[in-house]
Chain A
Amino acid sequence: MILIINGVKKSFTAPLDLKAALEQEGYDGMLVAVAVGGTFVAKGNYGSTKLNDGDEIEIVAPMQGG
């Protein structure tokens, strides 16, 4: 299935949950927050969040801001 991670299309093997997807992409243990389809997903819910073909995932981290 195709997931769109931070605006980039990537191919994954289904079925897949958010925790596994983040691990595969190298985010395991990193200071990030995540939204799927525009909705925030709390860290504790990564494993129970099933991903579907075409899901858009935003992964963000601290950055400079004004």
Chain B
Amino acid sequence: MPSQPLVIDDTILASRLFLGTAGYPSPDVLRRAIEVSKPGLITVSLRRENAAGKGQKFWDILKGFNIPVLPNTAGCHSADEAITTAEMAREVFETNWIKLEVIGDDYTLQPEPFLLLEATKRLVSKNFKVFPYMTDDIVLAEKLVDLGCDILMPWGAPIGSGRGLNNPFALQTMRERFPDKTLVVDAGIGAPSHASAAMEMGFDAVLLNTAVAKAGDPAAMAGAFAGAIQAGREAYLSGIIAPQEKAATSTPMIDKPFWHQNG
């Protein structure tokens, strides 16, 4: 079965790799990583501007790629902060898409589920398309869907940890419980195999940043992730065999040399 492109709000995404733009050794390296991997979506943020025009220069680089952007509310610890940040992002980036991050624990950067729900409710009422960065809690997912989210972005592991999929069972359960929602593993990815594993589960996309930005060769790693995500998607659609307890020969035994019907 061929892989169809992911579509969000009538926007056709060219890839199921969502790539973060932070922490690269230089703007040129970021540019090459985007060129090589051709992500379907790139994430951006807002920071204080000191009138030097750095923000405009960065934005000019990204605009040249004509790839949809997803602004985040990184670093917000309250619903009010997140909502104001989202409103500022909507004006600057001219999109109502927002990756909603409300951090509850500074050690693990775990999202704060209660404030996430409050912020989601208020942002949906302001006509935002909320991409919630969340834990893999099924009840939280259900409540976010009730508030109007049709995209859910559970963490694989803490941001920047590179641990991969800490709780595959929870992620698999989320996929089974929300078959019609767009599910994206966001954060904690370290290696292309982690991303491929998420896609083999049936996730719709993978969002990552540090694993590429901090790689020895970020552009090459971005390409590796793009390939792994595509492979994982095609494997999922092709029907992965169920694990078996016993060995089963792949080569037919009948009429092999020295074959005896009774062993």
Chain B interface bracket (under 10, 10 to 19, 20 to 34, 35 or more): 35 or more
Selected contact of B88 from candidates A7, A25, A26, A40, CB within 8 Å: A40
Q: Are A31 and B56 in contact (CB under 8 A)?
A: yes
A62 to B43 CA separation, bound complex (whole angstroms): 11
A32 and B92 in contact, given A61-B46, A65-B74 (Cβ under 8 angstroms): yes
Interface: B23 (CB within 8 A): yes
Q: Within 8 Å CB of A34, what residues of B?
A: 88
> Considering only CB atoms, which chain B residue lies closest to A59 in the complex?
B49
Q: Are B84 and A40 in contact (CB under 8 A)?
A: yes
Q: Within 8 Å CB of A43, what residues of B?
A: 91
Most chain B CB inside 10 Å of its own CB: which residue of A58, A60, A63: A63
Interface: B51 (CB within 8 A): yes
Q: Are B22 and A66 in contact (CB under 8 A)?
A: yes
Contact residues, A36-66 vs B (CB, 8 A): 38-40, 42-43, 58-66
Chain A interface bracket (under 10, 10 to 19, 20 to 34, 35 or more): 20 to 34
A59 to B191 CA separation, bound complex (whole angstroms): 37
Q: Within 8 Å CB of A26, what residues of B?
A: 51
Interface: A6 (CB within 8 A): yes
Known: A38-B80, A63-B44, A66-B43. 8 other contacts (CB 8 A): A31-B92, A33-B92, A58-B84, A60-B47, A63-B47, A63-B54, A64-B45, A65-B74
B: residues with CB less than 8 A from A are 20-24, 30, 43-51, 53-56, 58-59, 62, 71-72, 74, 80-81, 84-85, 87-89, 91-93, 159, 209-210
